[in-house]
Amino acid sequence: MIKEVTTATFEEEVLSSDKPVLVDFNADWCGPCQMLKPTLDKLADELDNVKVVSVNIDREDDLAYKYSVSSIPCLVMFEGGNETRRSIGLKPRPELIKFING
């Protein structure tokens, strides 16, 4: 299961994490986000070196705004509290792995 983070828990779960964190910005009405979810769930289970969390952009519009999310699905990688890369749109599994590994 991918943990959902909020504005209140973002600092602790993402910015202060020891491990790199992959943040999945998504919404319930976004079809490509629903398509991506099973793949991310699986990757979250398989990968020990990254943590995967999700942000619902409708409930957490402050976070979406703060990180300039303007199209979803949007995956943002945070390392040491900073954004290091982002991937926009639905991608097949091999490309996601490539993106996560940098």
Partner 1 sequence: MYDIIIIGAGPAGLTAAIYARRASKSVLVLEALTYGGQIINTPSIANYPAAPDISGFEFATKVYEQAEALGAEFVYEKAADIQRSENGASFFVKTDENEYEGKAVIIAAGSVNRKLGLPNEEELVGRGVSYCATCDGAFYRGKRTAVAGGGNTALEDALYLADLAEKVYIVHRRDAFRGEETTVNALKQRPNVEFVLNSSVTKLCADKKLTGIEVTDKNTGETRELAVDGLFVAIGRVPSDIGFNVGTRDSGYIDAGEDCRTNVPGIFAAGDCREKEVRQLVTAAADGAVAATEAVRYIASLR
Contacts to partner 1 by CB under 8 A: 29-32, 34-35, 64, 68-72, 74, 86, 88-93
30, 64, 69, 74: the active-site residue: 30
Tokens coding 53: 């969390």
Residue with Cβ nearer partner 1 (11 or 58): 58
- Centre a 10 Å sphere on the Cβ of residue 77 and count the other Cβ atoms it contains: 18
Closer to partner 1 by CB, 16 or 34: give it: 34
Catalytic residue among 33, 36, 69, 77, which?
Answer: 33
The verdict on whether 74 is a catalytic residue reads: no
Looking at the Cβ atoms of 5 and 69, the one nearer to partner 1 is 69
Closest separation between CB of residue 18 and partner 1, Å? 28
At CA 14, angle to CA 10 and CA 20, rounded to 5? 170
Tokens at residue 39, please? Answer: 């793949």
> Residue 77 is inside which H or E element, if any?
strand 74-79
Tell me the chain's radius of gyration from C-alpha atoms.
12
30 is catalytic: yes
Catalytic residues, which ones? Answer: 30, 33
